[in-house]
Amino acid sequence: MGTTSGSKALRQTLPQPDPALIAMLTALPDFPWPLAACRLREIPGGEINRCFRLEVAEQTLLLKWLSAQQRVPLDRAAQFALQQQLARHGMAAEPVYLSACQQIWLEQWCEVQTFADQDPDKLSLLATALGQIHGLTINTPALDLVAHWHCYLKHLPATEQQIFLPAIATCEAVWAQADKSVLCHHDLSFGHVLKAPAGVILDWEYAALSNRYFDLASCAAINQLSDADAQQLAANYASATGIRREDIQAGMEQMQPLVQLTNALWYAANRDKTG
C-alpha cells in the first residue's frame, strides 16, 4: 500500500505534459506503448525542440518533440540512421523510435555528466572530440550548406534578404571548392562533450559529411572562443590528428566567413522562436 500511495503522490506532483503533445502521441498508430503506462516529465532548455524524460515498462527514454517549423529541411530518417551508426561506435545514445511524421524521436536515456566550464583542459577535450568525429567512417548525406542559406533567406523580409545576398555569393564560391568528405558535428558546444558516459557526444541534429575546417570554425564560434583560444584549439587539433597547425589555422580562417554567415542567417530566420 505504501508503495502504491507514494507512486500516486509522485504522479500528482509531476507537471502535466502539454496537451498538444499528448494528442500527437495518441494519434500515432505505432507508438510503442499505451500512454496510460507512460510517465513524462519535460526537461528545461532547447530553443527549437522540446525534450522529455519518458519512463515506461521499467525503462527510461529521452523523448524529443521535434519542431515542425524547422527553417531548413532536416532529414530525420537520415539523422536516425546516422545516430544508429554513432551508437555502435559508442559516441551517441541508441535511437529506438522515429514517428512517420518525424516529430517524435525516442532514444535510450543517458545519465550524463558534463565537464565544468572552468575545466583547464576544455580546449583539448573539444579538439580530441572533433578529431574523433572527423575520423569516423560513416554513411550519411553531405551537408548542402548553400541550400540551408537559401532556406533561411526565405524566412526574411525582402529588404533583409538583399543585405545577405553579396555574402552568400562570395561564400558559395568558397564552399563549392571545399572538401566535404568527413563527418562533422556542426554544433559542438562544450556542453555537448560528456565526461560520462565517456566518449558520448550530444545533439547530432546538424551532423553531416562536410568540411573539417568549417566544423572547427563553427566550434570556435559556438563556444565564443577568443582568438588566442581558437589558435589553441587548432594546435590541440593538430596534435590529435597529425595535420599541420598552419594548415588548420588557414582552413579555419577561410571558413570563418561562412560560419559567420550561417549563424547570422540562422538567428535572423529564427528570431520569432528564440526571442
* 70-88 per-position pLDDT tens digit: 778 789 999 999 999 999 9
Name the segment(s) of the chain with CATH classification 3.30.200.20. 7-108
Confidence of residue 47 (pLDDT cuts 50, 70, 90): low
Residue 136 reports pLDDT greater than 90:
yes
User: Shortest CA distance to 120 belongs to which of 249, 238, 216, 236?
Assistant: 236
Name the segment(s) of the chain with CATH classification 3.90.1200.10. 113-269
User: Shortest CA distance to 268 belongs to which of 108, 127, 155?
Assistant: 155
C-alpha atoms less than 13 angstroms from C-alpha of 202 in its C-beta half-sphere: 18
Residue 95 near residue 87, CB atoms below 8 Å: yes
Number of H helices, E strands in the chain: 10, 9
pLDDT, one tens digit per residue, over 139-192 is 999 999 999 999 999 999 999 999 999 999 999 999 999 999 999 999 999 989
- What superfamily would CATH give domain 7-108? Phosphorylase Kinase; domain 1 (3.30.200.20)
H or E stretch covering 96 = strand 95-98
Grid cell in block for residue 61: 527514454
User: Looking at domain 113-269, does it have CATH number 2.60.40.2130?
Assistant: no
User: Shortest CA distance to 140 belongs to which of 97, 86, 103?
Assistant: 86
Length of the chain: 275
